[in-house]
Amino acid sequence: MPKSIYYTEEQEQIARIAKALGNPTRIAILQLLSSKACCYHGDMAEELPIAKSTLSQHLNELKNAGLIQGDITPPTVKYCINKENWKRAKQLFQFFQ
């Protein structure tokens, strides 16, 4: 049987978000984005001590978890925190209090 049969949608959501938050680089990205309305990929690459390709992987992980969103205007990509999903994430984790 697939795992999804055993777990609720809420449990799956919490696991996706926890995985995305389980890396200090991703936490640094979220902190950087929370201090600004939005930020371009190139600007983040200058502020964080990681390669652009590694940054892209971390941004994809956060985007897949729904914590950030990107606005693609070639040749640039602008990211910001997905406030609605971030609010939902906080609600999901309140369960552990």
pLDDT digits (tens, 9 = 90+) for 7-32: 999 999 999 999 999 999 999 999 99
Q: Which domain holds residue 77?
A: 3-89
Mean pLDDT of 59-66: 95
Residues 67-81 pLDDT 10s? 999 988 888 889 999
The answer to whether position 68 is within a domain reads yes
Residue 97 falls inside a structural domain: no
Q: List, in order, residues 6 or more apart from 22 with CB less than 8 Å away.
A: none
The structure tokens 């919490």 sit at 14
Instruction: Identify whether 32 is part of a domain.
Output: yes
| Local structure of 4: helix, strand or coil | helix
Write down the pLDDT at residue 2: 65
pLDDT at 60: 94
